Amino acid sequence: METNSLIFLTNELFLRQSELFGDDYKNLENNSTHTFNELSISNLEDWQNSILQKYPVLNELQIENLQNFLISLSEILETINPEKLKISEDLLLEETDLLLWRESHNGISKLFFNEYGDITYVFNGNNGRKIRGVFNNNVDYEKLIYKFLSL
């Protein structure tokens, strides 16, 4: 199996979730997987709207990149329980960068959507490891999401 693929990511996240959340996750799988998938896409739209309302300073480039990100994410959420992604959002005050971030056992992954149309991927590991990549709006969003979710 190709390791840098969404299928691999799906399987890996599923396994991690199973290990981490044990019985709770099993119950969700048994009882409401389909409902969760439907809800996830609906929640993404709500999430986007709430971000736009919360951060009216975002410009067109940021909004366009965010929308592209969410379109790709919605495809992934067909197979992954969105509750387990635990993505938070924030605004980097000085830069007016939109910041999406998530914490795992390995560290904190971040995506910055800046006003110039760049998307910066940052990972700060709990062991001190630091990764960084700056991409423009032509980035492969699915691969970017993979990177964002995989560490």
Please report, as ranges, the residues that interact with another protein according to CB under 8 A.
Answer: 90, 92-95, 97, 99, 101, 103, 107-108, 110, 112, 114, 116, 118, 120-122, 124-135, 139-140, 143-144, 146-147
Q: Which sign does the torsion angle of CA 2, 17, 113, 67 carry?
A: positive
Q: Residue 62 Cβ, how far from another protein at the closest point, in Å?
A: 13
| Residue 95 and residue 81 in contact, taking contact as beta carbons nearer than 8 Å | no
How many Å separate Cα 96 from the centre of its chain?
19
Query: Smaller CB distance to another protein: residue 82 or 107?
Result: 107
For another protein, give the closer residue by CB, 70 or 111.
Answer: 111
d(C-alpha 151, C-alpha 123), whole Å: 8
What number of H helices and E strands is found in the chain? 3, 5
**4 vs 35, which CB is nearer to another protein?**
4
Query: In the complex with another protein, which residue's Cβ is closer, 29 or 118?
Result: 118
Report DSSP state, residue 84: G
Give whichever of 69 and 146 is closer to another protein, judged by the CB atom. 146
Q: Which residues, 6 or more positions from 92, have their beta carbon under 8 angstroms from its beta carbon?
A: 98, 99, 112
Compute the least distance from the CB of residue 150 to another protein, in Å. 10
Tokens of 122: 């940052």
Q: Nearest approach, Cβ of 52 to another protein (angstroms)? A: 21
Helix (H, G, I), strand (E, B) or coil at 26: helix
Least distance between another protein and beta carbon 101 (Å): 5
